[in-house]
Structure 1
Amino acid sequence: MAEKPNIILIITDQQRYDSIAALGFPYAVTPNLDALVEKGVAFSNCHITAPSCVPSRASLFTGYYPHTSGVLANGQKWQRTWVEQLRSAGYRCVNIGKMHTIPYNADSGFHERYVVENKDRYMEGRWYFDEWDKALAANGLVKQQRETYRERDDYRDRLGCFDWELPEDLHADAFVGNMAKWWVNTYPLSEPLFLQVGFPGPHPPFDPPARFSEPYLKRNDLPLPSPTKEELDSLHQELKDKRQHDVEVDHDSVVWSLDPTPDQMQRLWAHYLGNVTLIDEKVGELLEALKARGYLEDAIVIFTSDHGECLGEHGLIQKWSMYDAVTRVPTVIWSTANRFEGGRSIDGLCQLFDLGPTILEYAGITPQESFEARSLKPALEGRGWTPRTHVFCEQIGDVAMAGGVEFMTGVRSDRWKLVHFKGSDDGQLFDLENDPKEVNNLWNDPACAEQKRELLDVMRDWLIESNFKTRDVMMDAR
């Protein structure tokens, strides 16, 4: 066994936990991810620290909660990461695809970065010319994007779903997968490797080539969401405002509907799952290339996502809320050299940013004592790991938070979840044991007053402890 294993970190964007067959969603066609789950360790209760891309990723790559890192919304500047420690320890550090640093092309500790950003950049960073843009331009092509989608007569009815009509190898996710294979096949194996591959999908636009979405369009058994009027009426006002906002403002080429038809929902799920299947295909090809080049003789392979996606659940689209559809992400870790036993699931609560100190420890680096993230290495190796009693999530006002709420904070235990909306007397409280779909809001139920008070106390104590623990950290990820 090598002193320093190769470490491969694959991150998708906006992928739900229930989008992989081996994780309990048999409708998905994901043979390569299924194989990874079967060989590795799946953390079935891994939750993000922020329900949007930039703060979630900044938290993951710093080891601190968003309120500590200072990165609490999309568009906020960040670039400092623990990858710098891997580079100093002798790793060749390479990023291919999406990291979503701001600025996009920051060094962030990598020797090499081949940046591919959001599929549909429109306002901020609109003119940043990334590797994907260059490839399209070199082929004399113009990227499918919001300006051209808006010209379609059926634009408002598509819910962000389109067929990729340019060459398949120039789809964002195919391009990232192929570029990662190119790097693996051309770089000489001479030092331990940290390879971070960031797929832009299945983040919208939901735009896989038709061969991936068509099989799902033909299925009549997809468990499509159909929220009741009672649930929609009971939503927090912030989420009601978000629903209306997403009808009026087309973030990421998605124009939402307050009452989508069954056909629209079928198309939405078919395109989303089709994009997942495309990514699955590219993950399989990448792992084969890594194996052929010797990188998998002793490696830690990690697959995860930065947050999930509502896809019509609770009458909502995209992220920016704290339902499990958004906060719970697939997280699978595989040791190719049997550093720990695979083929199992760990159900205790953990957080996405716990992957940071896990990676550092397997690289022989002691994580900083001030880290708020906790290593999962003891859990993987079956020695002395205690699951988190609670996981936390926070989000400052962002582009799709259309109401008067400036800040959301969520706390979740095994059974209960509470969401606090700053400036609002109303909130959300769910009994996940009896209401796993988070439909029945118990915030104002007198019978649950004790649980609400307890979780509000936990939230207060967490913030106090966080401030105390990081009191000597001049945390500036920017």
Structure 2
Amino acid sequence: MTDTRPNILFILPDQLRWDFVGAYGKTYARTPHIDALAARGMVFERCLSPSPVCIPARASMLTGHNSISTGVLNNNFWLRPDHDACGVPSFAKLLADTGYHTQAIGKMHFIPWDITEGFHTRVIAEDKRHIHIRDDYHDYLKAHGLKKYAGSEEPGYVEGRMASISLVPLEHQVDTWVGDRSVDFLKSYSGEQPFLLWTAFPGPHDPYNPPAEILAKISQDMPDALAPTAATVPFREAMVKTHAQGSAAIDITDFTETMKRRVRRHYQGLIAMIDAQVGAIAAALEARDDGRHTLIVFASDHGDFLGDFDFLGKVLFFESAMRVPMIVAGAGTPQGRSDALVSLTDVFATFTEAAGVPCTRQDSIPLPGIGFGDAARTNVMGATDKGYMVADARWKLSRYRNGVCALHDVLTDPGEQTNRWDDPSVRDTRERLDRQLQTWVIASIMDGHKDKTYPYMTMTPDHPGHLRGWQRTYPANAWDDDVTQGLT
């Protein structure tokens, strides 16, 4: 074996919040296989998804660029088709170009849904809400006389606020299917190249629809939801409207504590199915005998309110929506728990560092303490179409387009019940974070427009731009040539 670089296995459930993973210490969370992975690796206590909504989170994670730089700020945006030419490649392309076999299985949420984004092979299941997509999972179901169901077709969907019972048998569930295909790959891959396998589970994203036999095993003991606050109430009307008029098609105007506990129990049922598949994948990986170590990263794109503040879903900059698990194991990763503040986008730098691929990292650094250096973040900053946010180890400051401003002390107030924005005793903290945020926003806007740059002409007499008919290069790739680090 001439190429001794590690395999990389990236496991990413969709919409899994940190406190429903047992390794983070909550007694109601039952994830024995994920916990076993955590026990032999590094658990990052606080990982934030800086743009906590599906497509923006994935665009930033894929490229190492924040959402202002990519321009992907909500689920109706995606990366430029020529983003490689702009010097903004995906980690999959970077690894593929340097000798990795790159394989993606499950829900990537790329637009269009069947593009490769640097993967040699994709096996696609864009499921849950995406019932009309004719992907590989659709073909599989059709071959077995089954189909994808809209949430409204499932028992209990409306009265359960999307907490329903799936009509698809357990052995044909989408997360089972994704896990099975991942196991098949690990058993069959015999290439000389190291591999990057991204296993992307569509669950536990809503609808919260485990099969009946899975739900029967889930305890009724679920944690209470967080109460609404003065900082969350202004978003309530829009949240209700979005769920009523969007693809969810449910009314959460009346959202009782009983309903919230039902949602959480069903959500835990979906997680139980994913956990079983993580166990099967880990066993298949352990059984491989290719003489190569494998770096395993387990994370999620964002969380889910699950009734906190009378909300469902994500988007806003509260811990329920943006705090996710981050667990790393294998390939010499030390065992332990890290208090370092990390970002979901740091997987980009971690993967490229593990693969020995030099590249520009606009807003991504390797996860610290796992063999790629100990450089740590002092803060995480993020953006969606709803606003901007900066967080450090203790404080989180958010500014929203509807005028809401929030400052929370997440150490003493982990439920973010008290908005300290107008508290004179923390004015210096607010102003410090606000200055950092504004500086970051301006720098990120500039980074996002580097495709429009051209070589400076005024002081260069022989520049061809002084002649008629000169054509500038567009898009420009300023990242490879003269920028070693973004946010400058």
TM-score norm. by structure 1 comes to 0.87
Aligned-pair CA distance for 1:72: 1.1
Q: 1:406-438: per-residue Cα shift (whole Å, max 9, x none)?
A: x311111111111101252x3111122321110
Report the aligned-residue RMSD. Answer: 2.4
What is the SS of the residue equivalent to 1:44? Answer: strand
Q: Which position in structure 1 is the counterpart of 2:85? A: none
Aligned-pair CA distance for 1:295: 5.6
| 1:35-114 superposed matches below 5 A | 35-78=36-79, 81-114=90-123
Give the 3 Å change call, closer, same or farther, for CA 265–363 of structure 1 in structure 2: same
1:22 matched to 2:23? The reply is yes
Matched to 2:304, the amino acid is: E
Q: Is the 8 A contact 1:94 1:111 kept in 2?
A: yes
Q: Which position in structure 2 is the counterpart of 1:395? A: 384
Matched residues in 1 for 2:97 and 2:255: separation? 53
Of the candidates 302, 305, 308, which is equivalent to residue 310 of structure 1?
305
Q: 1:289-325: per-residue Cα shift (whole Å, max 9, x none)?
A: 1222336841101110000011111121110111111
| 1:149-298 superposed matches below 5 A | 149=154, 155-216=157-218, 218-220=219-221, 222-225=222-225, 227=227, 231-232=228-229, 234-236=230-232, 238-246=234-242, 248-249=244-245, 251-252=247-248, 254-262=250-258, 264-294=259-289, 297-298=292-293
What is the SS of the residue equivalent to 2:26? Answer: coil
Q: Which position in structure 2 is the counterpart of 1:148? A: 153
Aligned length: 446
Q: Is the 8 A contact 1:161 1:267 kept in 2?
A: yes
Bigger drift between 295-304 and 10-19 goes to 295-304
Matched to 1:106, the amino acid is: I
Matched residues in 1 for 2:299 and 2:250: separation? 24
What is the SS of the residue equivalent to 1:7? Answer: strand
Aligned-pair CA distance for 1:362: 0.9
TM-score norm. by structure 2 comes to 0.85
Matched to 2:101, the amino acid is: R
1:410 matched to 2:389? The reply is yes
Give the 3 Å change call, closer, same or farther, for CA 473–354 of structure 1 in structure 2: farther
Q: Which position in structure 1 is the counterpart of 2:461? A: none
Q: Which position in structure 1 is the counterpart of 2:366? A: 375
Of the candidates 396, 402, 427, which is equivalent to residue 449 of structure 1?
427
Aligned-pair CA distance for 1:36: 0.6
Aligned-pair CA distance for 1:15: 0.2
What is the SS of the residue equivalent to 1:380? Answer: coil
Aligned-pair CA distance for 1:468: 5.6
Q: Is the 8 A contact 1:205 1:254 kept in 2?
A: no
Aligned-pair CA distance for 1:135: 0.9
- Segments of structure 1 that go 5 or more residues without pairing to the other structure are 397-406
- Segments of structure 2 that go 5 or more residues without pairing to the other structure are 82-88, 453-474, 478-488
* Aligned-pair identity (%): 29
Q: Which position in structure 1 is the counterpart of 2:135? A: 130
Q: Is the 8 A contact 1:48 1:56 kept in 2?
A: yes
Matched residues in 1 for 2:169 and 2:121: separation? 27
State the structure with more CA Rg.
2
Q: Is the 8 A contact 1:291 1:297 kept in 2?
A: no
Q: Is the 8 A contact 1:41 1:346 kept in 2?
A: yes
1:435 matched to 2:436? The reply is no
Give the 3 Å change call, closer, same or farther, for CA 7–96 of structure 1 in structure 2: same
Q: Which position in structure 1 is the counterpart of 2:437? A: 459
Q: Is the 8 A contact 1:204 1:254 kept in 2?
A: no
Matched residues in 2 for 1:379 and 1:190: separation? 29
Bigger drift between 457-466 and 192-201 goes to 457-466
Q: Is the 8 A contact 1:97 1:198 kept in 2?
A: yes
What is the SS of the residue equivalent to 1:133? Answer: helix
Q: Is the 8 A contact 2:13 2:301 kept in 1?
A: yes
Matched to 2:95, the amino acid is: L
Q: Is the 8 A contact 2:64 2:348 kept in 1?
A: yes
What is the SS of the residue equivalent to 1:244? Answer: helix
Matched residues in 2 for 1:83 and 1:255: separation? 40
